[in-house]
C-alpha cells in the first residue's frame, strides 16, 4: 500500500494532469486526435466570456497554430442552451465605474483573441449551437467554418445597452449581402436556425443532435487539409433536412432593408422609415427609438468605415469606441436598465439623435496614442 505521503503525491499528480479537463474550469482545452478542442464551460452564465477565459484561449490557439500535430481547432459550448451569449458585461460595468483596468484589458485582450481567430493558420471550426451573441459572435464568425443548428440564436444586441456591435462587427456585418448587416447591427434583430446560414453568418447547417458525431469524425481525420474538413462539413450539411424548405425570414423585407438602411445618417434612416410607413418600417422605428442614440450613430459610422478596412484596422477602431463607451453615460445606463434593474426603461443622454453631435461622434473615433490597440 502507498504510504500517506506518496498517496498525496499521486493525487496531486493526478490533479495536475486533469487540470485542463476539470469540469469546474471555465474553459476546457484539450487535444484529441488531430484536433485542438476549446470548450466554453460556464453553462449557468450561458458560457459568457470573461477575461480569464480569454487569457487561457489566446495562448492555446497560438500554441496549436505552431504545432505540426494539430490540424484543426474546434470551439463549442456546454450546457445545451448557448454557444456563448456574450462578454461578461456585468464585470466590465463594475470595472468601468470604478476606473478599474479591467475595462481596458477586457476589450484589448478580447479583440486580440478575435484577431487571432481571424488570422488563424489552422482551420477553425465553431459549433454555434444555441445562443450566440456579442462576444460569442467574435469567437466564431472570424474563423473558417461556423456550423449553425436549429437551436442557434444569433444577435448583436449592443445598441440596446449603450454599446456597439464590437468584436469585429464593423468588419463582418457590412460584408453581409445587401444591407442585412446594417439592419442587424442597428435593430439587434435575432436570427434563428437556418436563417443564420442564409444571412451568410454560418457556413454550414447541421442538426444539433448530429454534432457529437460530426465532432468525432473531425477528430478522426488523418492530417486533414482545409478541403478535407470542408468536405466532411458539407456531407453533414447535405444530410440536414430541418427547415430546408423554409424561406429566409428577411426575404420578403430585403428590398425595404436594402433601400431604407442605405442612408448616410441615422436621421436619414429614421426619415426614410417614417416616409415608408409600412408595418415593417413602423416596427423598425419602434425598435430604433428604444436604442441609445449615441450607440446608433457610432454604429452606423463604424459599419460604413469598416466596410473597406482590414479586420486589424476595424478592431483598432473598435477598441477606441469601447473606451469612449467606458468614458460615457449610456453604457452604464443601458446595463442598469436591461441587466441589473431590468426595468427596460433606459434614460439615454443625449435622448435624441439630433442631440448627438458629429463632433462628439468624431471624438469617439480618435486615436488613443500609446493606449491604442496594436495588432
Q: Please identify which residue in the block is written with the cell numbers 481525420.
A: 221
For residues 235-253, b (16+ Cβ closer than 10 Å) or e, as one string? ebbeebeeeeeeeebbeeb
pLDDT-flagged residues of the chain (< 70): 1-23
**Cβ atoms of 107 and 71 closer than 8 Å:** no
135 is catalytic: yes
166 is catalytic: yes
Options 166, 195, 215, 318, the catalytic residue: 166
Q: What pLDDT sits at residue 21?
A: 53
pLDDT tens digits, residue range 323-342? 999 999 999 999 999 999 99
Options 158, 215, 318, 330, the catalytic residue: 158
d(CA 152, CA 161): 22
Q: What pLDDT sits at residue 261?
A: 97
From the number of C-beta atoms within 10 Å of its C-beta (0-12, 13-18, 19+), residue 369 rates as: exposed
Q: What pLDDT sits at residue 24?
A: 83
33 is catalytic: no
Options 36, 118, 135, 306, the catalytic residue: 135
Q: What pLDDT sits at residue 25?
A: 95
Structural domains in the chain, CATH included, are 25-371 (3.90.226.10)
Options 87, 138, 169, 188, the catalytic residue: 87
Amino acid at each position: 500500500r502507498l504510504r500517506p505521503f506518496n498517496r498525496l503525491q499521486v493525487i496531486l499528480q493526478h490533479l495536475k494532469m486533469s487540470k485542463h479537463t476539470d469540469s469546474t474550469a471555465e474553459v476546457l482545452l484539450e487535444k484529441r486526435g488531430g484536433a485542438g478542442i476549446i470548450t466554453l464551460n460556464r453553462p449557468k452564465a450561458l458560457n459568457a466570456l470573461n477575461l480569464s477565459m480569454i487569457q487561457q484561449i489566446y495562448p492555446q490557439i497560438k500554441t496549436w497554430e505552431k504545432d505540426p500535430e494539430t490540424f484543426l481547432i474546434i470551439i463549442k459550448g456546454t450546457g445545451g442552451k448557448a454557444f456563448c451569449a456574450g462578454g461578461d458585461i456585468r464585470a466590465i460595468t463594475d470595472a468601468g465605474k470604478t476606473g478599474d483596468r479591467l475595462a481596458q484589458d477586457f476589450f484589448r485582450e478580447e479583440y486580440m483573441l478575435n484577431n487571432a481567430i481571424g488570422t488563424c493558420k489552422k482551420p477553425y471550426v465553431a459549433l454555434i449551437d444555441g445562443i450566440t451573441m456579442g462576444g460569442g459572435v467574435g469567437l466564431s464568425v472570424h474563423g473558417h467554418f461556423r456550423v449553425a443548428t436549429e437551436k442557434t440564436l444569433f444577435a448583436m444586441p449592443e445598441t440596446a445597452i449603450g454599446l456597439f456591435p464590437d468584436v469585429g462587427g464593423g468588419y463582418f456585418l457590412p460584408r453581409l449581402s445587401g444591407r442585412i448587416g446594417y439592419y442587424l447591427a442597428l435593430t439587434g434583430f435575432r436570427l434563428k436556425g437556418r436563417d443564420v446560414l442564409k444571412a451568410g453568418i454560418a457556413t454550414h447547417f447541421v442538426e444539433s443532435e448530429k454534432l457529437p458525431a460530426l465532432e468525432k469524425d473531425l477528430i478522426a481525420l488523418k492530417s486533414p487539409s482545409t478541403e478535407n474538413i470542408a468536405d466532411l462539413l458539407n456531407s453533414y450539411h447535405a444530410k440536414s433536412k430541418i427547415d430546408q424548405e423554409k424561406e429566409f425570414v428577411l426575404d420578403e423585407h430585403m428590398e425595404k432593408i436594402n433601400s431604407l438602411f442605405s442612408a448616410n445618417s441615422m436621421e436619414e434612416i429614421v426619415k426614410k422609415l417614417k416616409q415608408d410607413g409600412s408595418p415593417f418600417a413602423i416596427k423598425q422605428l419602434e425598435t430604433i427609438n428604444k436604442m441609445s442614440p449615441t450607440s446608433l450613430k457610432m454604429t452606423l459610422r463604424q459599419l460604413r468605415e469598416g466596410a473597406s478596412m482590414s479586420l486589424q484596422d476595424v478592431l483598432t477602431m473598435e477598441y477606441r469606441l469601447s473606451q469612449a463607451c467606458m468614458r460615457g453615460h449610456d453604457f452604464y445606463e443601458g446595463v442598469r436598465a436591461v441587466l441589473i434593474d431590468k426595468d427596460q426603461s433606459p434614460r439615454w443622454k443625449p435622448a435624441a439623435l439630433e442631440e448627438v453631435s458629429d463632433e462628439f461622434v468624431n471624438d469617439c473615433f480618435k486615436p488613443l496614442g500609446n493606449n491604442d490597440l496594436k495588432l
